[in-house]
């Protein structure tokens, strides 16, 4: 885990929102065996890596939520009562999708602010998108005491990708990011999730 990245994200959040955040780290992943078998309900053998997404998140006292991508030098302001997928192919749809899918569980989510950055090269095949989805899902779960299990959270992340990003992905990336352990790989049956 990149301590300098954690410090930068934390500092950016505290400077911008003048409060101390909850910090989440979600790793990217490599896959040793099983490319393209996860969305066909086959076997995969992924492992989490030490690169990922660091997210700082905290409750907002305003009528909207602000999400800041330090890497893209962009932000999005969300109206939680009126979430819509953006037409552009953008990181913002991953965020919108996770929040919308969390709302679809019937759980109560208030406005929040978050800042994130990562050290996974975008487009490198190391699952930066799953790490981003999981960091927000896990962060909201903790922040708002939603009581969702890790299995429920990975399905929320997967649905966000299906319904808001337009990628009909399997479950491997989200699973490896959520359940990965240091010095271990995961032999996963994508049909049963055993």
Residue 193 within any structural domain of the chain: no
Q: Is residue 191 part of a domain?
A: no
Identify whether 117 is part of a domain. Answer: yes
The dihedrals phi and psi of 56, each to the nearest 5 degrees, come to -105, 130
Which sequence positions are flagged as catalytic? 173
What are the pLDDT digits (tens) for 52-84?
999 999 999 999 999 999 999 999 999 999 999
190/170 Cα distance (integer angstroms): 8
Query: Does 123 fall in a domain?
Result: yes
- Residue 107: inside a domain: yes
pLDDT tens-digit map of 84-133: 998 888 899 999 999 999 999 999 999 999 999 999 887 788 889 999 99
Q: Which domain holds residue 115?
A: 3-185
Looking up residue 181, the CATH number of its domain turns out to be 3.30.230.10
Residue 109 lies in a domain: yes
* Residue 161 belongs to some domain of the structure: yes
CA proximity to 70, closest of 89, 56, 60 = 56
User: How many angstroms separate the CA atoms of 22 and 136, rounded?
Assistant: 11
**Burial of residue 149, with CB atoms counted within 10 A of its CB: 0-12 exposed, 13-18 middle, 19 or more buried:** exposed
- Does residue 192 form part of some domain? no
> Could you tell me if 147 and 65 are in contact, meaning their C-beta atoms sit under 8 angstroms apart?
no
Q: What is the pTM of this model?
A: 0.94
Q: Per the structure, how many domains does the chain have? A: 1
Mean pLDDT of 30-34: 85
Q: Taking residues 38-42, what's their average pLDDT?
A: 83
The predicted structure's pLDDT at residue 170: 84
Q: pLDDT confidence of 6, banded at 50, 70, 90?
A: very high
Q: How many CB atoms lie within 10 A of CB 189?
A: 11
* Residue indicated by tokens 């989440």: 24
Q: What is the pLDDT of residues 147-184, one digit of tens each?
A: 999 999 999 999 999 999 988 888 899 999 999 999 99
Query: Average pLDDT over the chain, rounded to whole?
Result: 93
Round the CA-based radius of gyration of the chain to a whole number and report it: 16
Q: Which of 29, 28, 65 is nearest to 47 (CA)?
A: 29
């Amino acid at each position: 885990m990149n301590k300098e990245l954690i410090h930068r994200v934390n500092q950016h959040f505290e400077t911008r929102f003048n409060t101390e955040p909850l910090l989440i780290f979600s790793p990217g992943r490599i896959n040793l065996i099983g490319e393209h078998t996860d969305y066909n309900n086959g076997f995969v053998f992924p492992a989490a890596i030490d690169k990922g997404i660091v997210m700082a998140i905290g409750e907002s006292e305003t009528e909207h939520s602000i999400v800041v991508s330090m890497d893209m030098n962009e932000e999005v302001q969300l109206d939680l009562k009126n979430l819509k997928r953006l037409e552009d192919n953008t990181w913002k749809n991953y965020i919108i999708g996770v929040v919308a899918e969390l709302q679809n569980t019937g759980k109560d989510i208030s406005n929040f602010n978050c800042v994130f950055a990562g050290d996974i090269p975008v487009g490198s095949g190391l699952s930066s998108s799953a790490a981003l989805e999981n960091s927000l899902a896990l962060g909201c779960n903790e922040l708002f005491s939603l009581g969702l299990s890790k299995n429920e959270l990975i399905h929320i992340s997967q649905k966000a990708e299906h319904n808001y990003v337009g990628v009909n992905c399997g479950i491997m990336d989200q699973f490896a990011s959520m359940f990965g352990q240091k010095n271990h790989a995961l032999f996963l049956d994508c049909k049963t999730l055993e």
